[in-house]
Structure 1
Amino acid sequence: MARGGQGLARVAVVVRAGAAPLWWLGVVAAGIGAVPDGLTGRRIGVLAGAALFLVTAVVVLCARRRRYTALARGAARAGKYDVLQDRAVTARNWRRGHRWWLLLAFLAAVGSSFAAPAAGGLLLAGAGAGLRLKAAWLGRLERAEEALLWVRVDWLGRGGGRPAGKAVKAFRSTGIAAGDAAPGGARRRTAALV
């Protein structure tokens, strides 16, 4: 990074990076967990899991929204020498940094099925759904401000991969067309040439 530039990762991409693994691991764990009757019985376990899914999705969606909004309002423009990290690199780094936590969460969800069938898996899937909804909310925020939000990679590393953690002092912003991810962190769609 020449001349004092910083490596920047998209905030919405970091948030969205955990959504797919948590969702699919939760769905698989719920499927495996539906096999045993468990202590509570299959019906009670699935109903409890459905309630946990909804509650977890809402909690994850609403967590730290004020902090995200405050950091977005105070976002400074990215500098000329700042380096924008690719979407795929950001997602891969997050998943590598959290792979053991994801594995432990999956094993705990499967293990909990012997007490309440499918409940642990549905809780995990709810966390994934909440992260996807939070990334969509960030996308609406970015469209409203007409600016994409970025976080310094070194702050992200010190904060355990949380884009609004204590280590993060401020966001940076760029124009809406910067980088290879659309508002909300999804892959940017390119128009087909005719």
Structure 2
Amino acid sequence: MAVVVRAGAAPLWWLGVFAAGVGVLVPGVTGRRIGVPAGGALFLITAAVVALARRKRYAALARGAARAGKCDVLQDRAVTVRTWRRGHRWWLLLAFAVALGSSFAVPAAGGMLLAGAGTGLRLKAAWLGQRERAGDALLWVRVDWLDQRGGSPAGRAVKGLRGTGIAAGDAAPGGARRRTAALVRPS
């Protein structure tokens, strides 16, 4: 579940940072003296709203998680991330274009808003990771319940979550890539 949440964090962050960087170069209608502080405020507000949105739904789904069965289709982290990003690529490009275009009115504000959304998703994934560590189980959304475009992990189609052990799959708690220690060879 945290993998789907985290899948959008990196693209939103980097597109937002790039749009904000380009936006600083453009003087804009309001000027940089207004645009950059307004963007900073938008960054903080957006990060907080995205991080706190739908927490009750996520918590309710996590509490009701059932043990994953043999018939459940659970996919790898890399496949989930790739599917989500492909399904949302046009929305990401449109958001980037709007953030870049808004720089002509309010420099850097649109880019910082995008970066704030990415930060909020990352914070939400970290919160989910804490819940997974506390429950000692990774939470998964069945693939057939997710939309083909990589829908919401807490959407209406999701009737419940599945749980596996912490060591299952290639994702760590919180949706990060699992880090495997290098094998130590005896001399």
TM bin, normalised by shorter chain, reads: over 0.9
Number of residues paired by the alignment? Answer: 184
Structure 1 residues 131-170: aligned runs within 5 Å: 131-157=121-147, 161-170=151-160
Partner of 1:113: 103
Cα distance between partner residues in 2 of 1:119 and 1:127: 13
Pairwise CA distance, 1:154? 1.9
| Bigger mean CA offset, 151-160 vs 181-190 | 151-160
Native 8 Å contact 1:14 1:94 kept in 2: yes
Matching residue of 2:61: 71
Deviations 1:114-154 (A, max 9, x none): 11000000000000011111111100000000111011112
Write the distance in 1 (CA, Å) between the matches of 2:55 and 2:157: 17
CA distance in 2, matches of 1:123, 1:167: 29
> What amino acid is aligned across from residue 118 of structure 2 in structure 1?
G
CA RMSD in angstroms, aligned pairs only: 1.2
Q: Which amino acid aligns with 1:179?
A: G
1:45 partner amino acid: G
> Which residue identity lines up with residue 52 of structure 1 in the other structure?
L
What's the counterpart of residue 49 of structure 1?
39
Deviation digits for residues 2-45 of structure 1 (CA, Å, limit 9, x no counterpart): xxxxxxxxx01100000000000000000111112111111210
Gaps of 5+ in 1: 1-10
- 1:159, CA displacement in angstroms? 8.5
Q: Specify the alignment match of 1:188 in structure 2.
A: 178
Provide TM-score, normalisation by structure 1: 0.92
Instruction: Return the alpha-carbon distance in structure 1 between the equivalents of residues 76 and 137 of structure 2.
Output: 17
For 1:122 and 1:87, locate their aligned partners in 2 and report how far apart those are by CA, in whole Å: 28
Percent same amino acid at aligned positions? 80
Structure 1 residues 84-111: Cα deviation after superposition (integer angstroms, max 9, x where no partner): 3111100000000000000000000001
- Retained in 2: the 8 A contact 1:159–1:167? no
TM-fit CA distance, 1:83:
3.3
